Amino acid sequence: MTKKWFVIAIVLASVWNGSVRGADVPWLLEVTKVPANPPREGIDRLTPLLLDGTGRAITTREAWERQRKKVSEVWRKFLGPMPEPRPAVKLDVLKTESLDGIQRTLVRYEGEPGLFVEGYLLKPLANNNETKPRPGIVALHQTTNASIDEVAGVSGPESMQIGLKLAKRGFIVFCPRCFLWQSVKDYNDAVAKHRERHPNSLGMAKMLYDAVRGVDVLVSLPEVDAKRIGAVGHSLGAKEALYLAAFDERIKVAVASEGGTGFRSTNWDAPWYLGPAIRDENFSLNHHQLLALIAPRPFLILGGESGGGAADGDRSWPLLQEALPVWRLYGEPTRLGLLNHRQGHSISSESFSKIAEWLETYLR
């Protein structure tokens, strides 16, 4: 090998491993270092990830990739089927407005076959010299009767307007409405209607499907770089972001703020999520498996530790700790982290800055 090609090989290897200056957020070590003796109460069963079906240790990435397919299939079977193939994306524009350099458009599109959904599409107003497609973000809203209005910046507190704020930073953002607020009386009505259509599918299967449709919308747009798609969500939206990143490899980076990684950290047993099966002490699935499915794509959890509604914090670390050996099969550094801001079930301005920096860094 000539000296020139040797240098090029070293640089490419450094880029792959994230060791070139600027390739990672400067605070990566702070959020990927497991604290000593994190609390383990309420974690439930953690099936070993790096053992195959015969009990043999998995020590290579190739062996994990084979195991990964099996883990994904088991989870898919538990969640239940949703309609495939998915309908082609056709957006009907309901209204458009411009504000602060952003075009915000309310669109209607076919989610499931014959079932229509609304969402806000947020685009930075292009200048005449712009030619390159932009990265896209699926921004998933929290539990609120305002649904997509808050995340898209139509109403609600500024701290919850994460879709609008990310659009102002240059992303093309799509904010789909969760099925719990789609022409229903309440959550139970939404679940009942879902089960009428899909009696063998959980509420979380529907949320995942709708989030995947959000990705479909983004990649259908010529101004979006389909190879640079991220996801972000707070609370309920964070739950969706976890599942979306685990099951849709088009998601290259994601952030889940205060969704609750452990089953007992929040109401995962509700009928619109996973239902009562997860309470069984012999239930073999847990979210460390989803974290492993995401590897090696950067995934950040934000935790508020304590206070009303707080769902993530140091108690979430055991699940990440179980997944990290899988991530290490892909090389160092690992980009699975927990930022425990200890400010409760909220997104402070400092926390949003971290969210934005994480997405900007890994979707550059």
- CA distances, 33 to each of 229, 274, 351 (Å): 26, 30, 18
Q: What pairing do the DSSP bridges indicate for beta strands 172-176 and 134-140?
A: parallel
Give 127's pLDDT tier (boundaries 50, 70, 90). confident
Question: Which whole number is the average pLDDT over 147-153?
Answer: 98
pLDDT of residue 41: 82
pLDDT of residue 16: 40
The CA distance from 77 to 359, in Å, is 31
The CA distance from 334 to 322, in Å, is 13
Give 22's pLDDT tier (boundaries 50, 70, 90). low
Question: Which whole number is the average pLDDT over 303-330?
Answer: 96
pLDDT of residue 130: 73
* Of 128-132, 142-146, 160-164, 204-208, minimum mean pLDDT range: 128-132
Burial 176-208 (b: 16+ CB within 10 A, else e): bbbbbbbeeeebeebbebbeeebeebbbbbbbb
Question: What is the pTM assigned to this prediction?
Answer: 0.93
The CA distance from 124 to 134, in Å, is 9
* Of 12-21, 274-283, 294-303, minimum mean pLDDT range: 12-21
User: H or E element: which one contains 13?
Assistant: helix 3-17
Give 5's pLDDT tier (boundaries 50, 70, 90). very low
Assess contact for 252 and 362: CB atoms under 8 A: yes
pLDDT of residue 43: 86
Give 129's pLDDT tier (boundaries 50, 70, 90). confident
- Quick one: which of 83, 68, 77, 29 has its CA closest to 210? 83
- Quick one: which of 231, 176, 235, 243 has its CA closest to 204? 243
Q: Could you give phi then psi for residue 357, rounded to 5 degrees?
A: -65, -40
Would the pLDDT of 11 be above 50?
no
Average pLDDT, the chain: 93
pLDDT of residue 15: 42
* Of 14-28, 45-59, 285-299, 327-341, minimum mean pLDDT range: 14-28
Task: Please classify residue 86 by burial: count the beta carbons closer than 10 Å to its beta carbon, then call 0-12 exposed, 13-18 middle and 19+ buried.
Answer: middle
Question: Which whole number is the average pLDDT over 11-19?
Answer: 40
pLDDT of residue 128: 65
Question: Which whole number is the average pLDDT over 291-295?
Answer: 98
The CA distance from 58 to 196, in Å, is 41
Q: Compute CA 226 distance to the chain's CA centroid, rounded to the nearest angstrom.
A: 16
pLDDT of residue 13: 42
Residue with more model confidence, 128 or 176: 176
Give 4's pLDDT tier (boundaries 50, 70, 90). very low
The CA distance from 236 to 267, in Å, is 10
Assess contact for 118 and 106: CB atoms under 8 A: yes
Question: Which whole number is the average pLDDT over 199-223?
Answer: 98
Would the pLDDT of 21 be above 50?
no
Would the pLDDT of 9 be above 50?
no
Give 19's pLDDT tier (boundaries 50, 70, 90). very low
- Tell me, which fold does domain 25-362 have in CATH? Rossmann fold (3.40.50)
Question: Which whole number is the average pLDDT over 245-274?
Answer: 97
pLDDT of residue 17: 40
